[in-house]
Amino acid sequence: MHSKSGQIAETTTWIVATLIIIVILVVSLYASSEISESARAVNAKKSIIFLKEKNADLLLKQSLFGFLITKNADGKTIYQSIAEKNALSDDEKSLAKDVFVNTNSKENSIAISVNGVQSLLTEKEFSTRGNKKTESMKINPGSELKIILQE
């Protein structure tokens, strides 16, 4: 009688252990399939966690160069204008909006900052979540222009 109940207890233990092993294996199989799917398509957006600071946006930098070399109504480049005034005029901000909103997705939040004074160029505001990209340009030792973009 004692031996029979001992056997039942032992069998139950092994059945439960087998079920746990099967569950762990199924979860691992599912996880490896999911990871494989995301790792299979190699692109900059999906590889962002691996690229980190190497995730420079070359085309955003190109647009920033283009913006700085654009001449304003006074015939001066925006680069020269910022170097003199350490700020952006309203017309320059409007041009920045045309440049950076047209060259990026409407879903993005974009801001331009001169010496820490930030102006939002899009209706969508920055959120706490989402990857932020920043491209900056030192105008002179006292001033820096930054473009901040959040996808």
**What residue ranges bind another protein (CB under 8 A)?**
3, 7, 10, 14, 18, 21-22, 25, 28-29, 32-33, 35-37, 39-44, 58-60, 62-71, 95, 98-100, 102-107
Q: Are 82 and 114 in contact (CB under 8 A)?
A: yes
The amino acid at 129? R
C-beta of 53 vs 116, nearer to another protein: 53
Taking a C-beta distance cutoff of 8 angstroms, is the pair 143, 149 a contact?
A: no
Which lies closer to another protein via its Cβ, residue 9 or residue 116? 9
CB-wise, 23 or 116, nearer to another protein?
A: 23
Closest approach of another protein to the CB of residue 120, in Å: 19
Neighbouring CB atoms inside 10 A of 149's CB total 22
HSE-up of 98 (CA within 13 Å, CB side)? 9
Rounded least distance, CB 13 to another protein, Å: 11
Residue 28 token pair: 């691992």
